Every structure is written in structure tokens, then in C-alpha cells.
Structure 1
Amino acid sequence: MHKHTRLTPPLRKEVYRKWCQGGWSYRSLGKAYHVDKNVVAVVVERGRLNDFSVHDSTNSRFRTIEYGLKRLAKTEAAIGKRLARTANRYERSVPGELVHGDTKRLPYIDGEHKGIKREALFVAIDDCTRYLAADILPDKTQWSAAIFLKVAVPRMPFPVECHYSDNGKEYRGTDEHAFMQACDDLGIEQGFTKVRHPWTNGKAERVIRTLLTEWFRKNRFTSRDERRRSLYRYVDWYNHCRPHHGIQKQTPVQKLTALLISGENA
């Protein structure tokens, strides 16, 4: 028993009995026995389980310090990761030299039967200009990823040299993998993030968050076809009208045009 406890087991039984008889609140019992109302609440809850023993208690100051140290360790780890990301941040100088890809399953549209597959959003964003290609495919598989690549790459206003992604099954597999074969067919190299280093593909993850915030959540779709057409309109606006802080508040098309002009004058 804790040497400073005010409620011994007999007193705890007494408190519980008075509570059960009615007419007493936690506050009134606390005043009568010179303890906090929260202590009374604990006594009553344990009394319902016929437990009137005095439990060992750790000083709250030490619990707070222990909790604070754990939080501090997590904060330091998070800061370390952020510094690492900042230190390794770079931008390719040639359009198409590196294109980041990522995938996100989209929620069901209101009224859709939950038995059907959720569609997947595929994105490819150029590291240099932030030029974006995006589409919605029936699922998040290697075959859908291959279809997206074969449609998106020819539409980009520059040749794509390397596709960079995480290690998802839609992007990586055996020699017969559909997406890997599509890359070979198009003459595109593949690069992958290190395990547990998702921030190295940050541009793709960030543009998906942007799409969800600026396009998906601001619209209410009644059909999958409507959602797809809406995405195409947004991507066109994104490339031609939306300024980006990462490229000095230019649009992707403006950045691409400036690079082409500087190359011609070089």
C-alpha cells in the first residue's frame, strides 16, 4: 500500500457503498474524504469489479518526464528526416530527364456498389518543369500502369529518359512485368526509391495531395466518366495556369518555354 494513500481498502468500500446508496456525487464524496473527485471515480469503477485494493502509483512528474522524453526522441527523429530530405533535395535541369510516378486508389462515388473495384489515379510529374500527366485507370495493377505510361509519355512535350517510383507491385516485378516491359518498349530507364525512403519520390506524392485537395475534394461527382473528364480539365489548368513555388512561381508550361528559349539562345 502506498504510504501516502488517504483511502485504505475499508474506506474504499465505504465510499463505494455510499455511492451505490445514492445521494452522493463524486465531488461530494471527494470533499467528505479529502480526495479529488477523479480519485472517487476510480474507486467507484474498481468497486464495480469488487476491487478495493490500493494500486501502486508512479509519481506523475516522472510519468510526464518519461512521456516528454519519448516525444522529444520522436521530434528529433522527425527533424533529422526533414534535414536529410532538405540536404538531398535537387532539381533536374533537363525536361524529361526524370519523371516521378505514383498511384492512389480513389474512393467510391456516392451510390456505387462496394463490390466493384475502386479506380486508381496514376500520375507522372516531370522533375524539372513540374509538367503533369494524370489519368484514372480501372485498378492499381501493372497492366493499368503500363497503359497509363504508353498513353501519357507520347503526350508529354519532351522525351522521357527515366521513370522514378516507389517499389509498388504496379511498377516493379519479374522480367515479364507489364510496366517494366512498357518502359523497355519506350526506351525509358527505371529508378526506384530506397526501402523506407518515400520522401525521395516526394514530387509525385506531393502532386497527388494537391490533386486530392484542389480537384477531388472540391467536386461532387455523379459518375466515373464525369470524374475522369474533370481530372483532364484540372491537369490542363495545372500545366498552363497554376504557378508553382518550386519553380519561381512559374507554370510548368512557362518553365518549359523559358528553358527552350534559353537553349535556343545558348
Structure 2
Amino acid sequence: MSHANAALTPRARLRLARLIVDDRWPIARAAERFEVAWPTAKRWADRYREHGPAGMTDRSSHPHHQPRKTPPDVVRRIVSLRRRHRLGPVQLADQTGIPASTVHAVLVRCRLNRLSHLDRITGEPVRRYEHPHPGAMLHVDVKKLGNIPDGGGWRYVGREQGGKNRTATTGKPRTKHSNNKIGTAFVHTVIDDHSRVAYAEIHDDETAATATAVLRAAVAWFADRGITTIERVLSDNGSAYRSNLWRDTCTELGINPKKTRPYRPQTNGKIERFHRTLADGWAFKQLYLTEQDRRDALPAWLHHYNHHRPHTAIGNTPPITRLTNLPGQYI
């Protein structure tokens, strides 16, 4: 395909070559007519003589022969060492006997130049996925946050004053869910895999009854935005998601429950990454003088995340742009 600003398209090249070869125009005059250099006009004329009209198309710039290309067995050894031992270019160069710059070029070509591209446990390249349409998969999880004492937490007022505020805050006895005197906020989050549209509620526990109530509310919330069918839901292996109540609720809603591999949070990576965004953008973004102030700020932040904040994984557009709200658009 020609460059968008190319002076000569394949059709224009053919007209130029025919003026020179068939109509016997001087090369300099034909080049002036098409506003190209003399060598350019001669090249297309020579190619027309040799191949005819078929020779006017672009050719690959890939060389026919690469005598200095890294041998395949060396490439395989570099890749193997990188995956098994997570070595850098200098260490790999020492073990393979080739320059570090060549090792780096091989790693770039194989998309192994960043260790973040490799799974920490298996050493295999990270396999990213995205379901084809909204509702194909929901991710659910719980983010635990310590409640903020009256007067502010230690992150903003310092550990000494934060400790005093914590001691002075009353009204939250120790419970079986937390030994923290001021309690814990359990943020139940639900994310649509395709659009990254998020739903969240804050509760004081993470029991099966609470988790299923959040799921029902999330399904209704997504239905109001055009996602009328939820096919499956992915969760970790927490007790709430292994309960019979969770299983029965998913069956009632027509959802197929899925579980991540044990001790493998990467399987539910989209919601784990959302929790980091949630913490940076809302939970610890500013000074909250009370826990209620932080909870009151969550709906506004969620609206900003869904409707205004560009999401790099979906082309720097807000998640809501992937929902059309057209009935029957997604089945």
C-alpha cells in the first residue's frame, strides 16, 4: 500500500512509465510533469519494461538474504534462558557469546525485552484476552480498606496524629470480620470485561449474602445500560464465591460462575488493576476527615471513571463509549 502522502500511486506510476516507454518522452520531461526526481522516473520506467503493469505495485523491503542474522538455535537458547532465569541482555550475552546489543534485538523481536511481558511463575509470555462483547464476562472481587478515623488518617496527618485520631474514634467495636477498632470497609467491585465499565458498593462485610446482593444489583445496573445478558462471572476462591448461595444465585440469573486458579490473582488481572486505580484515584487520593466523607465520594469518582477517564487498554477512551445501549446489539 502506498504512503498516504506519496507523490506516485500505482496508477500514477503506470502513467509515468507509459509516457517514457510507450510514448518515448524524455525521462527528465516526464519526471518534471509528475514532479518527481529523475532517478525515480527512470526506476519506474525500467520496472515497467521488465514486468509490465504488474511491476507498479510496492515491493517488500525485506532483504532476500541475511548472512549475519542470528542463528535460530542461538535465538532459542536466548529465549529459553530469558524465560527460565529472567536474565538481562548482559548476562545472556555472557552465556551465549554474542553482543548484548544483539541479545536485546532478539528479545525485542520476540517481545521478551520487558520482564513484565513474562509471567513471574511460569516464565511464559503473558497472554492477554478480552471478551468480544459486553456481558460476556463480569469480574468480581472485594477490596478491603481500613476505615478512616475522625480527623484523618496517618497518610495525610502523620503517624503520630493519625494514631491519636484512631484512638479517639469510637463507635465501631471489634468484630469477627476485623480486629480493627474503627472497622474495615469492604468495597465489592464488578467490572465488565469488554468495556471495563465498573460498578461498586461499600459494605461492612464480605459474606455470601452481601456478595450475592451486590451481584444482583450489578446485573440490574448493567441492564439499565444495555447489557441485558450476562454470560459468566469470574471470581477468586473466597468463601463467599464458593458458597451454595453464590452458586444458586448465578443459576437463577442465568450466569455461569467461573473461578480463578488458586493463588493466581493474575487470572483476574483486570479487576486487580482496577483496584489499584480505585486506590490511587479515590481511596487515598485526598484527605478525608471521616470515613463517611470517603464513602460519599465514591459515586462521583465511579462516574468519572466510567464516563470521562480515558482507559489505555481500550484506545484511550472512557469505558462507557463501548456501550451503545441499543436493544439487541449484544446477544
Q: Structure 2 length normalisation: TM-score?
A: 0.51
Stretches of structure 2 that go unaligned for 5 or more consecutive residues are 1-82, 88-114, 150-165, 171-179
SS at match of 1:185: helix
Deviations for 1:196-252, whole angstroms, at most 9, x for unmatched residues?
Answer: 322110001000110001111113333343322211111111110011111111111
Aligned Cα RMSD in Å? 2.7
- The equivalent of 1:211 in structure 2 is 278
8 A Cα contact 1:119 1:136, kept in partner = yes
Cα deviation, residue 186, structure 1? 1.8
8 A Cα contact 1:131 1:253, kept in partner = yes
CA 1:215–1:149 in structure 2 vs 1: closer, same or farther (change >3 Å)? same
Q: Are 1:152 and 2:218 matched, yes or no?
A: yes
Quick one: distance in 1 between partners of 2:271 and 2:183? 23
User: Paired residues, what number?
Assistant: 188
Q: 1:190-209 alignment to 2 at 5 Å? A: 190-209=257-276
SS at match of 2:234: strand
CA 1:196–1:229 in structure 2 vs 1: closer, same or farther (change >3 Å)? same
Cα deviation, residue 126, structure 1? 0.7
Cα deviation, residue 75, structure 1? 3.9
Q: Are 1:172 and 2:213 matched, yes or no?
A: no
Quick one: distance in 2 between partners of 1:168 and 1:106? 17
Quick one: distance in 1 between partners of 2:84 and 2:125? 18
SS at match of 2:258: strand
Quick one: distance in 2 between partners of 1:85 and 1:206? 18
Cα deviation, residue 80, structure 1? 4.1
CA 1:182–1:225 in structure 2 vs 1: closer, same or farther (change >3 Å)? farther
Q: Are 1:139 and 2:205 matched, yes or no?
A: yes
- The equivalent of 1:222 in structure 2 is 289
- The equivalent of 1:105 in structure 2 is 144
- Comparing 149-158 with 214-223, greater Cα deviation is found at 214-223
Deviations for 1:32-85, whole angstroms, at most 9, x for unmatched residues?
Answer: xxxxxxxxxxxxxxxxxxxxxxxxxxxxxxxxxxxxxxxx97746986416646
Q: How much identity, in percent, do the aligned residues show?
A: 33
- The equivalent of 1:163 in structure 2 is 233
Stretches of structure 1 that go unaligned for 5 or more consecutive residues are 1-71
Deviations for 1:150-178, whole angstroms, at most 9, x for unmatched residues?
Answer: 222201121322110111112113x3xx3
CA 1:126–1:85 in structure 2 vs 1: closer, same or farther (change >3 Å)? farther
